[in-house]
Amino acid sequence: MPIVFAAITPHPPVLLPEIGKENLAKIQNTASAMEKLEQELYAARPDSIVVISPHGQILEDAFNVNLSADYKANFKEFGDFSLELNFKSDYMSIQEIRASDESQKQVPIVLTSSQELDHGFSVPLYYLTKHLKSIPIIPITYSTLDWEQHFNFGNFLHGQLSKISKRFAIVASGDLSHRLTKDAPGGYSKKGEEFDKKLVELIRANKIDEILKFDPKLAQEAGECGLRSILILLGILKQMNVVPEILSYEGPFGVGYMVANYKFQ
């Protein structure tokens, strides 16, 4: 079975002790859930981690796969000048995924190359690779295409990963609403709480068809950044027997943070 682990994670830099410091106590539920997720990932014994991020180089009409010999991340823009992370590339698997559809008849894929990883990748990996320092990664950034095309891209990825003789972990990185409180980064909207509550419940119930029909206006009004990452993950898991488990949800800084683990049956 090539896919052995799947999860949804948030990516706030404040989740890192070096940055969050005393504020980390305010999102302790999220930190504890990420630590539990790390244990689940380690037990799954993956050979490679696919990480889907809503940040970085987002293309309007194609999915971006970052092909580099290796990757690095720092957190200078968040006030920390000492922490630097380094990751290996699953170079061969990325080449195989891209070569499998050179004509781009199935899904539009563009290969870019950058050593620098944004916090959408690096924050989840900070937690999840604590005991897998040398594990290679496949960084993917979603696009502005519609819900269904993201789901179909996930289904395409499932087919390609299934052809590769490796054990893959899939991580969908994304925060939920950025508009939960008056001091939230996106300002306040009552639609923020509505969006988060609805999406968390749909994921908990594994109602994929309803998530695919999610109101784009509600998502936009909520100021979310995670739905497309989640849709790619759901596309990957479409043909698999999984049960979602919500490990935590909270939004003390006006942004919704959800951690979910998919248990394989």
pLDDT tens digit string along 183-217? 999 999 999 999 999 999 999 999 999 999 999 99
- The percent of residues in the chain predicted with pLDDT above 90, rounded, is 90
Query: What ranges do the domains of the chain cover?
Result: 3-264
| DSSP3 helix / strand / coil % (the chain, rounded to 5) | 40, 25, 35
> Where residue 35 falls among pLDDT bands split at 50, 70, 90?
very high
Could you confirm whether domain 3-264 is CATH 3.40.50.1370? no
**pLDDT at position 77 over 60:** yes
Scanning 21-161, the segments in alpha helix (DSSP H) are 28-44, 91-99, 119-128, 147-161
Place of tokens 């784009």: 216
pLDDT value, residue 135: 98
Amino acid at 72: K
